[in-house]
Amino acid sequence: MTPHARPPCHNRRAVSSRLRARLVLLTIACVGLFLRPFSAQTRTPTAAVPATINEAQAAIDRDLLEISIPQLHRLYATHKYTVTDVVQWYLARIERYNGIYRAIEYVDGPGALKIAAREDAEARAGRSDFKPAPMWGVPIVIKANTSVEGLVTSDGWKGYRIPGHELVAPADATVVRKLKAAGAVIIGQSNMPDFAASDTNRSSAFGRTGNAYDVRFSPGGSSGGTVTAVTANLAMLGTGTDTGNSIRMPSATSAVVGVFPTRGLVSIAGIAPLDWLRDNTGPIARTVTDAAIALNVMAGADPLDPRTADAAGKAQPGPYISYLKADALEGKRFGVPAFIMRGTGVPFHGAASPGSAQAAAQRRRDEEVPLQPETREAFMKAIEGLRAAGAAVIFDDSILPDSFADIAGGIYTRPYIAEGTEAFLQRFGPAQYHSAAEYQKVVGSALPPVITGDAGSGVDGERQTAVAQRKLETDPDAEANYHAPRRKALDAYNEVFERLRLDGLVYPATQMPPPDETMPQGGRLSSGPHSDTSWVNMIGVPAVVVPAGFYATGLPFGLEISARPWQDGDLLGYAYAYEQATRHRRPPVLVEKGLLPAKTTK
């Protein structure tokens, strides 16, 4: 086993002892402050110390639970806590709860404490002139498909964790490099399903993540580890990736904010792809303010991702927090997509050719994801918050009807899957292998079909046939397969905005509540919850999920809002105004015993 494949929470005793020592020192200081000449009338120090330790722990819990980045920076500015104090507090919570919820695959305690100590030294040296970077001292998690130099990029798959053949990242993904430069402290890598290819969060590398609001239920996938860590206060913020719904749907299950930026605003270089033509990355946070701060850090052109080249000329200017106004919804108009309310589905990778009307109708039936009654009810309640904040919500059968789902379903990406996999391994693979062929030669087994396009098990375990793999840039069929239908779908999307003078679309982020994974769903183990939002990836428009209430079970419901391409600032403004008007978020009550046995990943 390499040093990078150590079991999670390997530093628990050290972290706990340091935190206890700091609390004892705080206790001694508190006792000294309250001693008086008539101390004989007060309690003896030996009686006071245990109570004061508990009080000190309660005080730091009150200060740090649900804290935002601006609030944390105010605490740092007043020297109430150091970065080391805060990182230790998060590591102690991970030690306490991660064995139950299994949100974080690898905990880098020593690395996080080293960065914290360095940042504390920087603050001391700078004294009153010290100006912290936007995410200075903010403990975050990185999804396990995103390269962090020196750590294993498991991509949720046990095959990248084989001892002696681990996929140890030679460099940081672009977003990781930017987050580090902004002062963020990476405390670990969040759990995810194999290759991000599932709507739930079961991983061959680390097992199942449970929903923080009820561990029996699914947090969704594939960013289920990040949403669980963030909502449970095991981290302040985290990264997610999204190929079909994987930032937005899990955010909806866990009462957090999930941002899908306009594709091209944020680089995906250094992220193991599922389908590079649909993949995206963005922040997951407890508040829109924190998400806006993180997006500002993550955004920008990157020569390793050509789709970001002209972002500066198209995107709304930052900083994104300047768009966050409580009255941002006043006078705005939002449409509700008809095909989502009907549950009309879209094939994940699209279809090879439109075919006949009968074939299109059959595809719709095959991909149908009905909107469950309790989710419809939750959505109708949620949009009342939009109306109360001054927005109009329009239901009209012409707003993205079933024909839009047919158009979006014609964006065919499966012939180009292997191109993304090969490009990732070439630049971000370990020294032993830089291609699928080299992996097979070194390890003795092939990469799975879901990331190569071969026949076998595909997304959510569905059987897939082999598709001849090509390069998008040189494929004579690329225009028919991808470019033309994508333009047509984007035109259909924009036409609705023009015709009905809309500012955005609003719809349920999932078609159903999170399922109970201790019980069969439809006669088999659940792979959900599912959504009807993969069309967002197909055309690359921005979308955001915000907490929007709770089901009768106590599980969260999330509202999704989308906007015109490159209107990310306005979109965050809408989300912020909704958040401030409704205040739906409430943190989960965590348990220390649950259905999931704690185990160590070898």
How remote is the C-alpha of 295 from its chain's centroid? 12
| Catalytic residue of the set 68, 218, 222, 527 | 222
The candidate with the shortest Cα–Cα distance to 241, out of 280, 277, 191, is: 280
How remote is the C-alpha of 596 from its chain's centroid? 23
Q: State both tokens at 564.
A: 């015109």
Cβ atoms of 334 and 505 closer than 8 Å: yes
CA quadruple 460, 466, 472, 478: dihedral sign: negative
Alpha helix stretches (DSSP H) within 239-369: 248-253, 288-298, 311-314, 338-342, 357-367
Note if 218 is an active site residue: no
The candidate with the shortest Cα–Cα distance to 399, out of 506, 487, 249, is: 506
Cβ atoms of 280 and 264 closer than 8 Å: no
Note if 154 is an active site residue: no
Alpha helix stretches (DSSP H) within 269-315: 288-298, 311-314
Look up tokens 């105004």; give the residue.
577
Look up tokens 């399922």; give the residue.
515
Q: State both tokens at 560.
A: 């999704």
Give the Cβ contact number of residue 384 at 10 Å.
12
Helix H or strand E encompassing 359: helix 357-367
Note if 204 is an active site residue: no
Q: Which amino acid would we find at residue 489?
A: A
Q: How far apart are CA 230 and CA 209, in angstroms?
A: 13
Give the Cβ contact number of residue 31 at 10 Å.
15
Q: State both tokens at 267.
A: 């680089």
| Catalytic residue of the set 143, 178, 180, 332 | 143
SS3 142: strand
CA quadruple 468, 221, 272, 563: dihedral sign: positive
| Catalytic residue of the set 68, 154, 223, 246 | 246
Cβ atoms of 9 and 108 closer than 8 Å: no
CA 299 to each of CA 171, 262, 265, 316, 323: distance values in angstroms, whole numbers, following the listed order? 19, 10, 5, 11, 16
Helix H or strand E encompassing 496: helix 484-500
Q: How far apart are CA 230 and CA 498, in angstroms?
A: 37
Q: Which amino acid would we find at residue 382?
A: A
Residues catalogued as catalytic: 143, 222, 246
